[in-house]
Amino acid sequence: MGIFAAIGVLSPFPFYWWLWNWPQSWVDLCGRDRDPSKVMALVAHFFKLIQFISLFSVSTLHWPPPFYFWPLFAFGQFLNFRVYQLLGEAGTYYGVRFGKSIPWVTEFPFGVIKDPQYVGSIMSLVACLSWVPFQYILLWVLGYVFMILVESKEDPSTRAKPIH
């Protein structure tokens, strides 16, 4: 079960890497009548479900959680919600790479925390350390670190051209 869980935890990162590096192929695949950010969100939710099932399969749940669970999980989810609130679906799901105009955001957490959506997700994962073996949390966190590095290099000339 461990290898399958590890594969499940890592499963979305090659997809995100491909979309970041070749956004035009995704826009072309989605076609003219579909919003590439919306389709990416649906696929990302599917991958997130696979990740959660993978973690759940190797977890040992108990109640109550340790003292550090609530603040880490709550602040992590707050950061994720705040990023989505400020950027919307297109901003969260690579809209800028798909040729959309995403407004520049200067409100908290932007400008204070680099990559707040990933920091929030990492905080939520670390909160679950008492339930999930360390190596699976580490794999997922390394996946986020990988995406932080991939997304830190954005060449505007490689952005997709919208299909009209």
- To which H or E segment does residue 76 belong? helix 69-92
Has 76 been labeled as part of a binding site?
yes
Is residue 129 exposed (0-12), middle (13-18) or buried (19+ Cβ within 10 Å)?
middle
User: What is the end-to-end Cα distance of the chain in Å, rounded?
Assistant: 46
Asked whether residue 75 is marked as a ligand-binding residue, the answer is: yes
CA distance 99 to 162: 6
74 assigned to a ligand binding site: yes
Residues comprising the binding site for S-adenosyl-L-methionine? Answer: 74-76, 154-155
Residues comprising the binding site? Answer: 74-76, 154-155
